Amino acid sequence: MKAAWAQSLRFRLLAATVAGLSVALLLAGVALGSLFRAHVLKQFESNLTQQLDQLTARLEFDAAGQPLIDARTLSDPRWQKPYSGLYWQIDEMTQDGQGRTGVLRSRSLWDARLDLSADALGDGAIHVHETPGPQHSRLLLLERTVQASADDQADDKPTPQRWRLIVAADLQDTHQAVTEFNQVLALSLALLLLLLSLAAWVQVRMGLKPLRALQHSLQTVREARSPRLQGQFPSEVRPLVDDFNAVLDRNQEVVARSRTQAGNLAHALKTPLSVLDQAAARPTSPADASLARLMREQLAVARRHIDWHLARARLAATQRLPGQRTEVASTLAGLVRVMGKVHADKGLQIQMAPADAALCFAGEEQDLQEMLGNLLDNACKWARTRVTVQATPIPGSHPALLSIHIEDDGPGIQTDHLQAVMARGVRLDESVPGTGLGLAIVKELADLYGGQLVLAPTAKGGLGATLTLPAAG
């Protein structure tokens, strides 16, 4: 498995860019360095050539045909200073190669001598060598062979004398200049690499910004703060966002359709059931009476089955879709209005503790209504005078949870019956109308959302129901 940072798009882009830049700058550095070195050497060599030309021009021969240089005519003071790094020397060349070296030398050579193997040189041609010099130096050495012209020659010498003129200079300064240049070059290129890498980092950051925005947007959907991906995305990311939104929309559509179909089935079945029920309620003869009783019993069973399975169908259609949020306070307010009407005869006081308007349930409105509606209806059915409702966020919970507490001042339920009452179809008191499905449906829905329903007797003997549900951020 690769390390996490290696999987990062930003790291990959940055690594590739920096690697590419490093190679390019290294090549540029090598090329520039060698170019500079070549240029400096060429300059050095051309200076030496001038010195050689000057030496050649000052060369004279005495009557004996021996070479003669008037050192005073050579302008450069370094010729005079011992081991100054600039030297000249004149060798005698013979046919057999046994000529004398150092016939004449610059004062700077002192007691050293430049040893050079015999070299067959054409007239006037210049050869360049790199040789070790005095005091462990490296010298660049230029040589040229000249022939004393006929009128300079003594007549007794049958063959004209050949002389080798040598000029040499210490390479140390040049090498040092090249090294210094290379150092400055390396430093500059390193700085350039740094700046370019920084630019690349900025570029990657800017370029990947939409991805961060997308990630942020996805998070808002996951945390149920938004039903769709929101925001402006560049054209490269837009198709992805559009497709994702289409999937979200489709999910919601499927849920809505399943619900509608479940509702349609309810409508289709319940009207005929009502007709049968009304018919069975008024038997026309005593003979019909027992049949009517049987019908009413069976109709009641059928009704409970339908209610239960419709509720199940709705549950099955309930998916925890991301991005859903339902305001708890407004949902509660709507249901309290319903209770006020439906239970108007009891003259109940329904107290709703002011809930935070921003408190939101991370789920579908209809599911919240179903849970709270059943709990409130139950409380109103049993309450004597008062029902209290309180919705609060649970601080410090992760993922965020909220709790809704509904309490009545009715007769309550014995502790050992509290579990049974949440089972489907259990009705502890058959005298109050109802199917006995309400609490079971609430429990199932709460479970589906990862919440829970807890029933407990209140201090005054009534029933308190606490519903814990996921909260939307």
Binding residues for other proteins (CB under 8 A): 263, 266-271, 273-279, 281-282, 299, 303, 307, 314, 334-335, 337-338, 341-342, 344-345, 347, 365-366, 369-370, 372-374, 433
CB of 264 to other proteins, least distance (A): 9
Q: For residues 103 and 121, is the Cβ–Cβ distance under 8 A?
A: no
Q: Compute the least distance from the CB of residue 301 to other proteins, in Å.
A: 12
Nearest approach in angstroms of CB 373 to other proteins is 3
Report the distance separating Cα 314 and Cα 329, nearest Å.
23
Contact 109, 134 (CB under 8 A): yes
- Given a contact cutoff of 8 angstroms between Cβ atoms, the answer to whether 86 and 173 are in contact is no
Closest C-alpha among 143, 148, 179, 138 to residue 164 = 143
Minimum gap (Å) between residue 266 Cβ and other proteins? 5
User: Looking at beta carbons only, is 114 or 280 nearer to other proteins?
Assistant: 280
Pick between residue 52 and residue 311 the one whose CB is nearest to other proteins: 311
Shortest Cβ distance from residue 287 to other proteins (Å)?
A: 20
Nearer to other proteins, 186 or 276 (CB): 276
CB of 126 or CB of 338, closer to other proteins: 338
- Residue number with CB closer to other proteins (38 or 357): 357
Q: Which residue's CB is nearer to other proteins, number 21 or number 375?
A: 375
Question: Could you please report the per-residue DSSP string of 71-82?
Answer: GGG---GGGTST
Q: Which amino acid is at 378?
A: N
Q: How far is the CB of 358 from other proteins (least distance, A)?
A: 21
Which one-letter DSSP state was computed for residue 236?
A: T
**Which one, 49 or 369, has the nearer CB to other proteins?**
369
In the complex, the smallest distance separating the C-beta of residue 303 from other proteins, rounded to whole angstroms, is 6
Whether the CB-CB separation of 369 and 334 falls below 8 Å is answered with yes
User: Which is nearer to other proteins, 247 or 300 (by Cβ)?
Assistant: 300
Nearest to 387 by CA among 395, 396, 378: 378
Nearest residue to 229 via CA among 244, 208, 239: 244
CA 337 to chain centre: 50
Shortest Å distance, C-beta 263 to other proteins: 5
Contacts 24+ apart (CB under 8 A), 444-447: 444/311, 444/312, 444/315, 445/315, 445/318, 445/367, 445/370, 445/371, 446/371
Inter-CA distances, 465 with 286, 379, 407, 428, Å: 46, 9, 6, 16
Nearer of residues 307 and 409 to other proteins, judged by Cβ: 307
What is the smallest separation between the CB atom of 339 and other proteins, expressed in angstroms? 9
- Specify the residue, 145 or 366, whose C-beta has the smaller distance to other proteins: 366
Minimum Å gap between C-beta 315 and other proteins is: 12
Q: Is 399 left (phi over 0), alpha (psi -120 to 50) or beta?
A: beta
Check whether the bond before 286 is cis (ω within 30° of 0): no
For residues 196 and 165, give the distance between their C-alpha atoms in angstroms, rounded to a whole number.
53
